[in-house]
Amino acid sequence: MDNLKITLKNKQRTLDKDSSQLWKECLKLIKKDVPNITYNTWFLPIKPYELDGKTLKIQVPNNFFVEWIEEHYNTLINKIIYQILGKDGKLVYVINDDSDEDPTLFDDPIVEPQTKSSKTSPIENTVESNLSPRYQFDNFIQGESNQLARAAAIAISDNPGETSFNPLFIYGGVGLGKTHLIQAIGNNILTKYPNKKIIYLSADIFTTQFVEAIQTNKINEFSAIYNNIDVLIIDDIQFLTGREKTQDLFFHIFNNLHQARKQIILSSDRPPKDLKGMSDRLISRFQWGLSADVQAPDFETRIAILKRKANSFGILLSNEIIDFIAYNITSNIRELEGCLIKLLANSSLSGKEIDFELARKTVKEISTKREANISIDTITRMVCEHFNVDENKVREKNRKKEVVLARQIAMYLSKRLTKNSLKTIGLHFGGRDHSTVIHSFNNIEKLTKEDVSLNEIVSGLVNKLELGI
Ligand code: ADP
Ligand code: MG
């Protein structure tokens, strides 16, 4: 399905009945799947624009909405459009450009027509790369913290498979730009060599596909896809730890590709030698090429990133505000971005300009959210609100399906986001013991890897709890 965005200068138009009706139905389904606050902030302001055959055009307030929705709710939207408009259904965003803002402010590559989730046909021999066009070298700010990784990434994309950086192994903490960098390599290679077959995917999706291939007896087809590509990019390879069968298969794919001088690019949250539960032979192969780390950005880099992002979101911030944010938010780039998003959300909700006061309030909210011990009660309340189930039922031994899911998610989030012991967590949910909590945790972890929309719900809840957005 292609979701694309067009910017129109003309203002509101008379609505046709079909688009209003369809959008209403979409909203109904969306509302079921996202937290209320998300629904109110991001979906309610959207207006139906027109229905053109099977293409539903919707009007969004600005570019930023499109980016946000695409990034966080693409799968959900695609699913809903499919449900409502069928297989050929398409969604097009129309930017309500009635401001006099200079459109060139949006300098990030915006949503291009994307082909998502269509099955690859072996006859066409086209490989769907899964790369997102928003990750480019152009919009990756360099700094001391990412110098080596970036330089190696650029070298590789000039000569994939031909440098000694094979594999390129990029590691570092969350939100420091690993996914951005490795996808930028893929995008850059595709621009230079449009015929190269590239696949990007995360190691957990690789694992899920592998399990599916086993279940459907399609291991050969599965391996064939990966053995026949020019560039393999696997994100978060640490997900393979402890999964011996997947590691075995990946080992063979790695060897085949490496021997054929195909480029392999991996990211991980830690260096190869620290990957406990990864086979020694894989660890040693990960070290064959170049390992480069990305670190937390220094002050100057944070400023450059903030300026760049603010610009691409189409907001103007004074240097005072930029300095203030850069000074206070230091841990990672995702959090810097989160701060801008929250600022924009705050100002678009209240209709107020972004001034120093609002910036201070927002930074404070983010820092206290980060430091505050998110409580089990808050988590329970939010989860129940989302799933529309009674909090008491979650705290009792009720076994209804939706109650069980809400309870397991609440336990999962309690373990992940609070420092409470398993025992304490169990006590909050009907006096269950610690093994039940572990079971719930593992189960939700597994389900979120398999089920993209559940994953979106859970990350939505994490965002809401941690960032208040
Ligand atoms: P990781 O994969 O390491 O957890 P991501 O690549 O997802 O981190 O980065 C988090 C966010 O920060 C993304 O939106 C990404 O585009 C942005 N980002 C990270 N590093 C940079 C950078 N150096 N310049 C610009 N944006 C960056
Ligand atoms: Mg990542």
The Cα-based distances of 65 to 61, 297, 348 in angstroms read 7, 27, 11
Contact 398, 371 (CB under 8 A): no
Q: What does the H/E/C string look like for the chain? A: CCEEEEEECCCCCCCCHHHHHHHHHHHHHHHHHCCHHHHHHHHCCCEEEEEECCEEEEEECCHHHHHHHHHHHHHHHHHHHHHHHCCCCEEEEEEECCCCCCHHHCCCCCCCCCCCCCCCCCCCCCCCCCCCCCCCCCCCCCCHHHHHHHHHHHHHHHCCCCCCCCCEEEECCCCCCHHHHHHHHHHHHHHHCCCCCEEEEEHHHHHHHHHHHHHCCCHHHHHHHHHCCCEEEEECHHHHCCCHHHHHHHHHHHHHHHHCCCEEEEEECCCHHHCCCCCHHHHHHHCCCEEEECCCCCHHHHHHHHHHHHHHHCCCCCHHHHHHHHHHCCCCHHHHHHHHHHHHHHHHHHCCCCCHHHHHHHHHHHHHHHHCCCCHHHHHHHHHHHHCCCHHHHHCCCCCHHHHHHHHHHHHHHHHHCCCCHHHHHHHCCCCCHHHHHHHHHHHHHHHHHCHHHHHHHHHHHHHHHHCC
72 lines ligand 1 (CB under 6 A): no
180 lines ligand 1 (CB under 6 A): yes
Predicted local distance difference test score (pLDDT) of residue 229: 95
Predicted local distance difference test score (pLDDT) of residue 351: 77
Cis peptide before 167 (omega within 30 of 0): yes
Q: Whose CA is nearest to atom 11 of ligand 1?
A: 334
- Block residue for tokens 């109650």: 403
Q: In one letter, which amino acid is 400? A: K
The atom number, within ligand 1, closest to the CA of 297 reads 23
141 lines ligand 1 (CB under 6 A): yes
Residue 332 CA to ligand 2 center (angstroms) comes to: 12
140 lines ligand 1 (CB under 6 A): yes
Q: How many residues does the chain have?
A: 469
Among candidates 328, 334, 262, 322, which has minimal Cα distance to 294? 334
176 lines ligand 1 (CB under 6 A): yes
Neighbours of ion ligand 2 (CB under 5 A): 178-179
305 lines ligand 1 (CB under 6 A): yes
pTM over 0.75, yes/no: no
Residue 233 CA to ligand 2 center (angstroms) comes to: 12
Among candidates 352, 340, 270, which has minimal Cα distance to 311? 340
Contact 103, 7 (CB under 8 A): yes
Predicted local distance difference test score (pLDDT) of residue 220: 92
The atom number, within ligand 1, closest to the CA of 181 reads 6
Q: In one letter, which amino acid is 149? A: A
Q: Whose CA is nearest to atom 25 of ligand 1?
A: 140
Predicted local distance difference test score (pLDDT) of residue 15: 60
CA distance 361 to 358: 5
360 lines ligand 1 (CB under 6 A): no
Question: pLDDT (tens digit, 0 to 9) for every residue of the chain, 469 residues total?
Answer: 445 555 544 444 556 778 888 899 999 999 888 877 677 777 887 888 888 888 888 888 777 777 778 777 888 888 888 888 888 888 888 876 543 333 332 333 333 333 333 333 333 335 688 899 889 999 999 999 999 999 999 999 999 999 999 999 999 999 999 999 999 999 999 999 999 999 999 998 899 889 889 999 999 999 999 999 999 999 999 999 999 999 999 999 999 999 999 999 999 999 999 999 999 999 999 999 999 999 999 999 999 999 998 888 778 899 999 999 999 998 889 889 989 988 888 887 777 888 999 999 889 887 766 666 688 989 999 999 999 999 999 988 888 999 999 999 999 999 888 877 888 898 889 888 888 898 999 999 889 888 888 988 998 898 788 766 6
